[in-house]
Amino acid sequence: MSLWRYRRGRPSACWGPNGSGKSSLLRILAGLRRPHSGTVALDGKSISGIAKKQLARRVAFVEQHGMTDANMRVRDVVKLGRIPHHSPFSGWTAQDDETVNSALKTVDMLHNSDQGWQSLSGGERQRVHIARALAQMPTEILLDEPTNHLDIHHQMQLMQLISQLPVTSIVAIHDLNHASMFCDALVVLQKGRIVATGTPQEILTEELLWEVFRVKTRIELSPYHGKKHIHYLV
């Protein structure tokens, strides 16, 4: 079954209440967790039959709470993304440097490349984690609630960055207005089940939000960006 349709270079969103299975779904898609039933196929081939290093060259996963050594420099963190492209005996190359620099430039952190990890803000750390994922040179990036714990300014900046990445991205998200503004496709989960798929403009309805969250809403087209905007009612 195809969960959603997407265009390369634009993000899809995975949305649902806490505990609905967003993180589990992303981990299954990334090959980090086996599904209870069914298979995950990449270009028609089950990912269970793809070597982990080979899969990591194709699919990158950005965790919600990625752990990073506080003593590392930004550049060294991003270099970790090159591991899938190296054998135990291969050396660092000029191509590796070029890839790392390109990833840092994409997330606008090249000027911070020698900065220590512990000195970065939350938004900057998320950008570096995305740069590390880009250094893997994947065609798909999966991001588990990347805007969690960020203020609204950094949330908007990060979602805009994700929407402009030169790869397919699938992001677990809580804010439906962000999904409507920045994402081409949306998968809605409830208690481990997929209850709706489609574009945000197609499936975001007041009835759906009542069914999933039991909240009353008013949905209108924004006069600023022309996308659906959700007003929550009390």
Segment 85-96 shows an average pLDDT of 90
Q: What is the pLDDT of residue 9?
A: 63
Answer whether residue 110 shows pLDDT above 60.
Answer: yes
Written as six digits, the tokens of 23 are: 């993180």
How far apart (Å, rounded) are the C-alpha atoms in residues 48 and 53? 12
Q: What is the mean pLDDT of the chain?
A: 90
Contacts of 45 (CB under 8 A, 6+ apart): none
Are 192 and 28 spatial neighbours (Cβ–Cβ below 8 Å)? Answer: no
Written as six digits, the tokens of 111 are: 């000027």
- Domains, the chain, in order of start with CATH, read 11-232 (3.40.50.300)
Q: What kind and span of H or E run contains 165? A: none
pLDDT tens digits along 163-176: 999 899 999 998 99
Q: What is the pLDDT of residue 69?
A: 74
Secondary structure letter of residue 63 according to DSSP? -
Alpha-carbon distances of 45 from 1, 53, 58, 69, rounded to whole Å: 14, 16, 13, 35
Are 131 and 104 spatial neighbours (Cβ–Cβ below 8 Å)? Answer: yes
Residues, the chain = 234
Are 175 and 147 spatial neighbours (Cβ–Cβ below 8 Å)? Answer: yes
pLDDT tens digits along 127-176: 999 999 999 999 999 999 999 888 999 999 999 999 999 899 999 998 99
Alpha-carbon distances of 118 from 22, 78, 107, rounded to whole Å: 29, 15, 18
Taking alpha carbons only, the member of 172, 96, 18, 111 closest to residue 127 is: 111
Q: What is the pLDDT of residue 85?
A: 94
Answer whether residue 64 shows pLDDT above 50.
Answer: yes
Written as six digits, the tokens of 69 are: 């050594």
Report the half-sphere exposure of 121 (CA within 13 A, side-chain side): 11
Q: What is the pLDDT of residue 3?
A: 53
Answer whether residue 1 shows pLDDT above 70.
Answer: no
Which residues sit opposite 193 in a β-bridge? Answer: 190
Indicate the range of 33-47, 76-90, 163-177 predicted with least confidence. Answer: 33-47
Segment 8-31 shows an average pLDDT of 86
Are 77 and 105 spatial neighbours (Cβ–Cβ below 8 Å)? Answer: no
Q: What is the pLDDT of residue 40?
A: 85
Answer whether residue 67 shows pLDDT above 80.
Answer: no
Answer whether residue 7 shows pLDDT above 70.
Answer: no
Indicate the range of 12-26, 65-79, 95-109, 152-166 predicted with least confidence. Answer: 65-79
Taking alpha carbons only, the member of 150, 130, 206, 144 closest to residue 173 is: 144
Percentage of the chain modeled with pLDDT above 70: 95
* Of 214 and 2, the one with more pLDDT: 214
Taking alpha carbons only, the member of 13, 1, 9 closest to residue 198 is: 13
Is pTM beyond 0.95 here?
no
SS3 189: strand
Answer whether residue 73 shows pLDDT above 50.
Answer: yes
